[in-house]
Structure 1
Amino acid sequence: MVKERISYGKVEGWLTDLPEWRSRLETLQAQMDHIPGLAQRLELVNIHGKGQKNEAILNEVIRRLQVKEIEIPLLQAKIQVLETAIRGLHADEQQLVEYKYRMNLPTLTAAEKLNITLRSFYRLRRRTLEHLYRIAGGKDSILGLKDDLLDSEAT
């Protein structure tokens, strides 16, 4: 059996992207609340205008509906997979994730907080990233999917 090569940078990217995924999800969900108002405006333009619907409003309603169907579920799944994978780590690995990736502490400071040498820190980091990669699904993980699916469909 050939051992799968792990991109540590990719896994670290997932960890550093997690707060952005959460913020993006929250923003997108807030935008969904405005769809009824946009749709109503679209109808008012049609009634009080010359029968022409405002294309900008129509395009925005369509874009937001696509976001609701594609991007929001993808972000929800990615956040859930990564948070579940983190919970599946050993306690020392979870602490490393907390200090290094959530709190963004410098490596030396994180090692000191973990009460380990720098050499031990790098071994623990490698083990943690490998463990996270396997728990999250490896090369077939949903975490590898791009966040900008809608952008690539629009072009």
Structure 2
Amino acid sequence: MKKGFLMLAAVAAIVFTSCKDEKAADKVNDEKVAEVAERDENAEGTAKMTFEEEMHDFGTINEGDVVEHTFKFTNDGDSPLVITQAKGSCGCTVPSWPKEPVAPGEQGEILVKFNSRNKPNNQMKTVRITTNTESGQEMIKIKAFVTPDADKAAAKAKS
């Protein structure tokens, strides 16, 4: 009986709090809309991220090795380049990037670390970069052939 009453009270609370007369469109401030429109009109240029290389091959490495590579890029656009996020395709691929804007004509670097632990054989990983470029996203890749750990393979064969 108590559970039923509590459920009814919870449902009633949800219904009463979600049925507001105020609409999302009513919350839009006309001054802010005009301010954003003016800012967008005055914005000039676009950032453009040009990499020296978009793919790096580590070649053959041993399982358990942690390798890293620095991808160099230039802002070939005419406004500052801002990187808001860089994310590897899995937890074994970790990028680090400049947090400050890269001025037009300037260079920057993205360091990518790859941990090959438990990653035997061919590996291809990507790093997706969220930026203020025209496309909004850029991508770089790494690849490697990871030689399996002989001790792990022998232990697995015994079990």
TM interval, shorter chain, is under 0.3
Structure with a larger share of its residues in helix: 1
Identify which of structures 1 and 2 has the higher relative contact order when contacts are C-alpha pairs closer than 8 Å and 6+ apart: 1
Structure exhibiting the larger radius of gyration computed from Cα positions: 2
> Structure 2-normalised TM-score?
0.23
Structure with a larger share of its residues in strand: 2
